[in-house]
Amino acid sequence: MPLAEQIGGATLSWLAYVGNLTRLTSGAARAVFIDPFRGRRVKWSRSMHQALAVGVTAIPVVSLISFFVGLILALQAAYELRRLGALHLVAGTVALSMTRELGPLMTAVVVIGRSGSAFAAEIGTMKVNEEIDALETMALEPVHFLVAPKFAAMLLMMPCLTTWSDLMGVFGGGVFGVMSAGFTSHTYLEATIDALVRRDIFIGLVKSAMFAIVITAVGCQEGFTTGLGSEEVGKSTTAAVVKSIFLVIVMDLVFTSIFYLTAPR
């Protein structure tokens, strides 16, 4: 096949994929934000169940990873800052990097591994077992029944987890700061608060909400497009993780660029 045709074909299939993600997301958003006002009942118990699975049970691993990332950031920053005699800037560097970038990103990676893959596996298994067909014949819309609760749970829990991740990252940086950079816990906290402005935290939370949408859409989409056979469920799960990580990074780049260009100078 000629190269141009291959590139064209790949571009079209990606565009179609993004189109499907958008359709799934708009369907879920309608079910969560609009349908309740039209008298269509939403079963919040399913969302709560998902919120527990997505958010609460992820706290230990998010805490540990964020703590380590904060510590690593401090070590790396200190390596360079020490040469410049600016070790006191460690606190600000860690705080900014965590809230604007690594908090949302590391949380997204953990949630992709735990929940994005689980969404694909759950819906994929249901597809293979004809359960999705069964839902449709019972006049239960799969997007309303399966995707909407996940969407609501993710949209609620990702910003919460990200905030927690930011705190744990700062704590990790603080451990280094107190032990090796001459801070007390009080001065480290003060330096952190001085370095941060409200916009930094806001940027991180906007990103985390966007990541939540991407992870839910990709996980569910991969589940719905699972082929026949249990092997296909495995493939969908892998695809959900790989595509989610890719799209989250792309989205991160887009948002970071937008925030950079619109930053007050």
Partner 1 sequence: MAGELIPKDDAAAERGAPAISVRDLRVNYGDREILHGISFDAPAGQTLVILGGSGSGKSTLLRTLVGLENPTGGSIWIRGRDFASMKESERDELRKRMGMSFQSGALFGSMTVAENVALPLREHTNLDRSTIDIMVRLKLNQVGLSGFENYMPAQLSGGMRKRAAVARALAMDPEVLFFDEPSAGLDPIIAAGIDDLILKLKQAFHITILVVTHELASAFLIADRMILLIKGNIVADGTPEELRQSTHPRVRQFLDRVPEKELTAEIDYLQMLTGEIPPERQ
Residues that bind partner 1 (CB under 8 A): 122, 125-126, 129-131, 133-134, 136-141, 145
Choose between 41 and 186: whose C-beta lies nearer to partner 1: 41
Give whichever of 64 and 134 is closer to partner 1, judged by the CB atom.
Answer: 134
Euclidean distance between CA atoms 214 and 20, whole angstroms: 12
Q: Residue 137 CB, nearest distance to partner 1 (Å)?
A: 4
What is the smallest separation between the CB atom of 138 and partner 1, expressed in angstroms?
Answer: 5
- Residue 145 or 255: the one with the smaller Cβ distance to partner 1 is 145
> What whole-number distance in Å separates Cα of residue 151 and Cα of residue 153?
6
How far, in Å, CA of 92 to CA of 228, rounded?
Answer: 52
Q: Work out how close the CB of 49 gets to partner 1 at its nearest, in angstroms, rounded to a whole number.
A: 10
Contact (CB, 8 A) for 106 and 207: no
Closer to partner 1 by Cβ: residue 122 or 222: 122
Find the shortest distance in angstroms from Cβ 68 to partner 1. Answer: 34
Nearer to partner 1, 137 or 262 (CB): 137
| Residues 223, 227, 228: CA angle, nearest 5 degrees | 120
| Least distance in angstroms from the C-beta of 136 to partner 1 | 6
Tell me the closest approach of the beta carbon of residue 217 to partner 1, in angstroms: 21
> Quick one: 101 or 232, whose CB is closer to partner 1?
232
Sequence-separated contacts (24+) of 197-205 with Cβ below 8 Å: 200/95, 200/96, 200/99, 200/100, 201/99, 201/163, 201/166, 203/99, 203/100, 203/255, 203/259, 204/99, 204/100, 204/101, 204/103, 204/104, 204/162, 204/166, 205/104, 205/159, 205/162, 205/163
* Rounded CA separation 157/106 (Å): 14
